[in-house]
Homo-oligomer: A and B are copies of this chain.
Amino acid sequence: MKLKARPLEIQAGGKSVAILDDDTASLLGLHSSDRVTITYKKQKTIGIVNIATNFPPSFVGLYEEISEKLGTKAGDEVEVQPADTPQSLGHVQAKVRGERLRENEIQMIVKDAVERHLSDIELASFITALYVHGLNMDETEALSRAMVRTGRTLNLKNQGPILDKHSIGGIPGDKATILIVPIVAAAGFTIPKTSSRAITSPAGTADRVESLCPVDLSIDEIKTVVGKTHGCMVWGGALELAPADDIFIQIEYPLAIDPLLLPSIMGKKKAIGATHIIIDIPAGRGAKIKTTSEAHSLAYDFIDLGKRLGMTVQCAVTFGEQPLGCAIGPALEAREALAAIMGKSPFDLKDKATSIAGILLEMVGVQDGKQTAQHILESGKAEKKLREIIEAQGGKPQVRPEDIAVGDKRAEITADKEGRILGINTADMARIAREAGAPKEKGAGVLLKAKLGEHVKKNGALFEIYAERDSKLEAALELAKKLVPISLTKGAEQGMLIDRIPVKVEHKKPFILER
Contact = CB atoms under 8 A, between A and B. Distances in A.
A61 interface: yes
A52 B122 contact: no
Contacts of A27: 440
Contact of A121 (B8, B199, B254): B254
A391 interface: no
A434 interface: yes
Which of the listed residues A29, A89, A133, A250 has the most CB atoms from chain B within 10 Å of its own CB? A29
A98 interface: yes
Contacts of A51: 12-13
B440 A26 contact: yes
Nearest to A31: B253
Interface centre among A17, A119, A133 (most CB of B within 10 A): A119
B128 A253 contact: no
A19 interface: yes
Interface in A210-258: 250-251, 253-257
A300 interface: no
A125 B255 contact: yes
A213 to B, nearest CB: 20
A122 B255 contact: yes
A329 to B, nearest CB: 13
B55 A10 contact: yes
B129 A124 contact: no
A11 interface: yes
Contacts of A128: 96, 124-125, 128-129, 132
Interface string A36-67: 00000000000000111011000001001000
A19 B11 CA distance: 9
A32 B19 contact: no
- Give the interface size class of chain A: 35 or more
A17 B12 contact: yes
A17 B52 CA distance: 14
Contacts of A12: 17, 19, 32, 50-52
Most B CB contacts (10 A, CB to CB) among A64, A120, A121 go to: A121
Nearest to A17: B12
B52 A10 contact: yes
Contact of A13 (B32, B34, B123): B32
A346 interface: no
A133 B129 CA distance: 10
Nearest to A118: B254
Contact of A32 (B34, B54, B64, B250): B250
A403 interface: no
A33 interface: yes
A61 B124 contact: no
A121 B251 contact: yes
A9 interface: yes
Contacts of A8: 10
Interface in A300-334: none
A90 B33 contact: no
B29 A440 contact: yes
Identify which of A29, A133, A254 gathers the most chain B CB atoms within 10 Å of its CB. A254
Given A13-B32, A13-B50, A31-B199, A89 B124 contact: no
A136 interface: no
A194 B166 CA distance: 59
A95 to B, nearest CB: 10
B54 A10 contact: yes
Contacts of A124: 120-122, 124-125, 128
A199 B50 CA distance: 16
A157 interface: no
Contacts of A133: 132
B90 A254 contact: no
A186 interface: no
A457 B10 CA distance: 61
A253 B31 CA distance: 9
A367 interface: no
A27 B442 CA distance: 11
Contacts of A90: 508
Given A12-B19, A12-B52, A13-B32, 19 more contacts: A8-B10, A10-B54, A10-B61, A11-B54, A12-B50, A13-B51, A13-B52, A32-B253, A32-B254, A33-B254, A34-B254, A93-B257, A119-B120, A120-B120, A120-B124, A121-B251, A121-B255, A124-B124, A125-B127
Interface of A: 8-13, 17, 19, 26-27, 29, 31-34, 50-52, 54-55, 61, 64, 85, 89-90, 92-93, 96, 98, 119-125, 127-129, 131-133, 199, 250-251, 253-257, 434, 440, 508
Closest 6 CB pairs of A and B: A33-B254, A12-B50, A124-B124, A128-B128, A121-B124, A125-B128
7 contacts: A10-B19, A13-B32, A27-B440, A29-B434, A98-B132, A121-B251, A124-B125
